[in-house]
Chain A
Amino acid sequence: SAVISQKPSRDICQRGTSLTIQCQVDSQVTMMFWYRQQPGQSLTLIATANQGSEATYESGFVIDKFPISRPNLTFSTLTVSNLSPEDSSIYLCSVEAKIVWTSGGASINEQFFGPGTRLTVL
């Protein structure tokens, strides 16, 4: 399994400022993922963070607004820039790990999620 922590757990920010969210994993992982979950909604993938290369962004998300760093295999940051009230949301990071759990030895790829960072923009 993988244990993921995020900082901060929540923050209240002013319009026009930026917030950087940190994600720390207790084991080395190749890819980390950043999601956004707006109040009462499902999760939307923002980008995939690769160690040593540029992040891959999903449609509707751009690097200027959501710059991502991935300096090593256990850590990533997501910055939400030029904040507006529409950015108020929960931001989650996740990793994928191979877990062998079936009696026949078959493995699955399970995603582990951090607890999320609740951002409120005034």
Chain B
Amino acid sequence: LAKTTQPISMDSYEGQEVNITCSHNNIATNDYITWYQQFPSQGPRFIIQGYKTKVTNEVASLFIPADRKSSTLSLPRVSLSDTAVYYCLVGPNSGGYQKVTFGTGTKLQVIP
């Protein structure tokens, strides 16, 4: 599984857009990029997944450049409840059963 690198922590004020970038230089052709969110005392929760270009859902957007060596999770207008750890993962999504390898994650602190 490709190794990922992301900032250890970030601070943001409420109402701002937050962009968390993840580097994955060794991403393979069949790898997808997935982001999870984890609140204290809870298990991680899936946010978004993409392969290339841009993916958007009701929670976030995921931007992936053409070379796919990095990706950016964008959270629009964060609130205090978005304070959590965000994990970027890269691996195959072939329809088989993949085990997920978590990196260090980015601890986002939203400030009032």
Contacts and interface: CB of A to CB of B under 8 A. Distances in A.
A110 B41 CA distance: 20
Interface residues of A, number: 26
A67 interface: no
Given A42-B87, A42-B105, A113 B45 contact: yes
B44 to A, nearest CB: 5
A93 B49 CA distance: 21
Given A42-B87, A42-B104, A109 B44 contact: no
Nearest to B36: A111
B13 interface: no
A30 B97 CA distance: 8
A107 B51 CA distance: 12
Contacts of B100: 33, 45, 94, 111
Contacts of B105: 42
Nearest to A9: B41
A113 B43 contact: yes
Contact of B43 (A44, A48, A108, A114): A114
Main SS of the interface on chain A?
strand
Interface in B85-112: 87, 93, 95, 97-105
B24 to A, nearest CB: 16
A48 B99 contact: yes
Contacts of A31: 97
Interface string A89-119: 0001010101001000001111111111010
Interface of B: 32, 34, 36, 41-46, 49, 57, 87, 93, 95, 97-105
Interchain residue pairs A-B with the least CB separation, the first 9: A113-B43, A43-B102, A110-B46, A42-B102, A31-B97, A108-B49, A92-B43, A113-B44, A109-B93
